[in-house]
């Protein structure tokens, strides 16, 4: 996707290095991080320098190739990478796909690149499918960031918005901030602004207000893991949005590639939920005009404990349909796509 006049992927290989857009610095600083070891890649995933299920999957695949170039034991690399983000199914898909290819004697880098390209194609297809549901001037609500920064290109939940724009439908996006890391206000808004798409940033707890006023036509969100019964793990707050949409009669769509589905999880109860640092809730990180740099500030009493689940589970009965590269299906039919 476009930054200024330049086209970028979120994750790519260049001159024996893994290249990532340093997402915590956005929208204020655009920086490319160049990674030479799988340990650095693991740290980038854990610290959310790169985030979003498909982007994590591609990063993990390239990291396995880096392990090979380093002469490291690929099984140890797989263990280290697998401990970084336990909820993201694509993380394990990317690791295992390259690990199995290496065991067959295949070229790890070629396999990683192939996976990255497949993510791009899947996003293009999901974009077209999702855009087919959108009328002229459609007002879309989204949660967290499920655009090109969360994938390799195009995105999942935002891909239909980009396609609808190309089709002349003039979509509008309500962007909730997505506390505690504000991927909506920091990343989704950044993408939409760069693509020239009309949008408004709102507080997380304002979404139900706009739904109740009839100002949201549909909700589109991504996913970090999908169970066989159609339950979905996604960024914390997705369940709240789904409940509000159900009450308001607003269609609620989940978009994700098939790699996000976990055949080992029968339902959402089987999906592991990552809990992150208390500091993410008690502090805010952003641009300080007075110092001209990124700063962290304390917003809660220093001694007040916090809880920080990174994801929640949206049950299948609250989801209108799941959109993958294989089609638009009811959550109850997801298992049939395997």
Is the C-alpha dihedral spanning 37, 19, 61, 231 positive or negative?
Answer: positive
What is d(CA 130, CA 324) in angstroms, rounded to the nearest whole number?
9
Q: What pTM value is reported for the model?
A: 0.97
Residue 216 has phi, psi (to 5 degrees) of -125, 125
What is d(CA 209, CA 205) in angstroms, rounded to the nearest whole number?
8
**What CATH number does the domain located at 134-274+308-337 have?**
3.40.50.10470
Cα 279 to Cα 110, 151, 282: the distances in Å are: 39, 26, 5
Beta bridge partners of 329: 322
pLDDT grade, residue 336 (50/70/90)? confident
Checking if the pLDDT of 144 tops 90, the result is: yes
What is d(CA 222, CA 335) in angstroms, rounded to the nearest whole number?
18
Q: Mean pLDDT, to the nearest integer, of 46-53?
A: 97
Cα 149 to Cα 27, 50, 106, 145, 146: the distances in Å are: 12, 8, 29, 7, 7
pLDDT grade, residue 282 (50/70/90)? very high
CATH top class, domain 2-121: mainly alpha
What's the pLDDT at 241?
97
What's the pLDDT at 2?
81
What's the pLDDT at 183?
98
Closest CA to 67 of 81, 54, 55: 81
Checking if the pLDDT of 1 tops 90, the result is: no
Cα 235-236-238 angle, rounded to 5 deg: 75
Active site residues: 224
Tell me the H-state helices in the chain: 38-46, 53-70, 74-82, 89-103, 108-131, 159-166, 183, 189-195, 207-212, 238-248, 279-282
Q: Which SS3 state, helix, strand or coil, does residue 198 take?
A: strand
Q: Each residue of 202-238: pLDDT tens digit?
A: 999 999 999 999 999 999 999 999 999 999 999 999 9
Hey, what long-range contacts does 13-17 have (CB within 8 A, 24 or more apart)?
13/62, 13/65, 13/109, 13/112, 13/113, 16/69
Checking if the pLDDT of 128 tops 90, the result is: yes
Q: Mean pLDDT, to the nearest integer, of 177-205?
A: 97
Domain boundaries, the chain: 2-121, 134-274+308-337
Q: What is the mean pLDDT of the chain?
A: 97
Q: What percent of the chain has pLDDT over 70?
A: 100
Token pair 């996006």: residue: 173
What's the pLDDT at 125?
98
What's the pLDDT at 102?
94
Q: Each residue of 257-280: pLDDT tens digit?
A: 999 999 999 999 999 999 999 999
What's the pLDDT at 286?
95
Q: Mean pLDDT, to the nearest integer, of 308-323?
A: 98
């Amino acid at each position: 996707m476009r930054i200024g006049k330049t086209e970028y992927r979120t994750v790519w290989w260049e001159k024996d290095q893994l290249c990532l857009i340093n997402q915590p610095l956005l929208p204020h600083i655009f920086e490319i991080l160049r990674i030479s070891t799988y340990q650095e890649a693991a740290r980038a995933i854990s610290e959310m320098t790169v985030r979003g299920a498909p982007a994590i999957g591609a990063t993990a695949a390239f990291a396995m190739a880096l392990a090979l170039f380093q002469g490291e034991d690929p099984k140890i690399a797989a263990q280290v990478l697998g401990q970084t983000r336990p909820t993201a199914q694509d993380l394990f898909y990317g690791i295992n796909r390259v690990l199995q290819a290496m065991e067959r004697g295949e070229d790890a880098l070629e396999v990683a690149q192939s996976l990255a390209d497949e993510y791009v194609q899947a996003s293009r297809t999901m974009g077209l499918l999702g855009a087919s549901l959108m009328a002229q001037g459609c007002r879309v609500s989204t949660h967290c960031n499920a655009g090109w920064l969360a994938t390799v290109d195009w995105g999942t939940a935002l891909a239909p918005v980009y396609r609808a724009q190309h089709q002349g439908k003039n979509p509008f996006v309500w962007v909730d901030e997505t506390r505690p890391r504000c991927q909506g206000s920091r990343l989704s808004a950044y993408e939409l602004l760069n693509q020239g798409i009309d949008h408004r940033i709102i507080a997380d707890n304002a979404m139900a207000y706009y739904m109740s006023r009839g100002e949201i036509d549909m909700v589109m969100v991504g996913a970090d893991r999908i169970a066989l019964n159609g339950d979905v793990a996604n960024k914390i707050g997705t369940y709240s949005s789904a409940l509000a949409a159900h009450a308001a009669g607003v269609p609620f769509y989940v978009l994700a590639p098939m790699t996000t589905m976990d055949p080992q999880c029968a339902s959402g109860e089987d999906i592991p939920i990552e809990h992150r640092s208390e500091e993410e809730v008690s502090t805010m990180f952003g641009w300080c005009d007075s110092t001209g740099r990124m700063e962290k500030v304390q917003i809660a009493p220093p001694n007040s404990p916090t809880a920080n689940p990174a994801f929640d589970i949206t049950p299948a009965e609250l989801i209108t349909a799941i959109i993958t590269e294989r089609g638009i299906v009811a959550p109850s039919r997801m298992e049939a796509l395997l």
